[in-house]
A = this chain, B = another copy of it.
Amino acid sequence: MVGRVLGVLDAFSAEHPVLTLSELSRRAGLPLSTTHRLVRELTERGALERDADGRYRIGLWLWEVASLAPHGAGLRESAMPFLEDLYEATHQHVQLAVLDGSEVVYVERISGRNAVRIQSRVGGRLPVHATGVGLVLLAFAVPEWQERVLASPLKRFSPRTIASPAELRRVLANVRRDGYAISDGQIEPEVLSVAAPVYGEQDTVVAALSIVVPSEGTDPRTLVPAVRAAARGISRALGAPRAVRVSGGAHWETL
């Protein structure tokens, strides 16, 4: 029964954010009358809303509840000022993502009007191996998880996508060594991102911060200090011991 309720919610997607009752029934694989009953209750409660054409969409109440997710208010609230700083310095896409399975989920993004077009969407997912934030999150994930991803097929999006386990393994080692990742043309040929890890209270990597710019005419290394500084700032705001320690001055972190 819970599964059916959640199945109805799962019928919505970025491609289909608004659906008729029949579409919901088909996408959720439920009989029409069952769907109707569920949808009516969900709508009465505000989890779904119905527009003037009788179509359904996700409702405000559900969004309010979901805003309580740790990846919502907590992380976002702490990160926002630093995302701002980074955005002001560059006026390019600045985004924050977390790891879920073998994908990253974008939890915040600041984009300028004239920034390069990118594939990510707040609330959306992309594979971990093909994105800057993904490389960072994977590099600092538990080794078992890294091996799991390395043992899975790596989907190719462009000629420059990291598609072999050996190459990915090498890149991950570089990320750990350097403390940042550069992803160039892995999905969109003209798009490059520089990403750095965000640490939480337990000094584990809980998110990744990246900036996304046009590949053309950009030396990614000029962006690294700013991205890392902003990521450090967020880590400190999240209470990460390693990020606080640096201000002591004597003990520089060894990577």
- A-side residues, CB < 8 A to B, are 1-3, 5-6, 9-10, 12-14, 17, 38, 41-42, 45, 47, 49, 57-60, 62-74, 76-77, 80-81, 84, 87-88, 98, 100, 105, 107, 109-113, 121-125
Contacts and interface: CB of A to CB of B under 8 A. Distances in A.
Given A2-B42, A17-B70, A73-B121, A58 B65 contact: yes
Contacts of A68: 12-14, 17, 57-58, 123
Contacts of A76: 122
B58 A69 contact: yes
A64 B112 contact: no
B12 A45 contact: no
Nearest to A9: B65
Contacts of A66: 58, 62-63, 65-67, 123
A14 B73 contact: yes
Nearest to A58: B69
Contacts of A62: 9, 62, 65-66, 69
A93 B1 CA distance: 43
Contacts of A87: 84
A1 B5 CA distance: 9
A98 B109 CA distance: 20
Given A57-B68, A65-B58, A81 B111 contact: yes
Contact of A64 (B1, B59, B105): B105
User: Taking each of A66, A76, A107, which has the highest tally of chain B beta carbons within 10 Å of its own beta carbon?
Assistant: A66
Given A67-B122, A81-B112, A111-B80, A60 B98 contact: yes
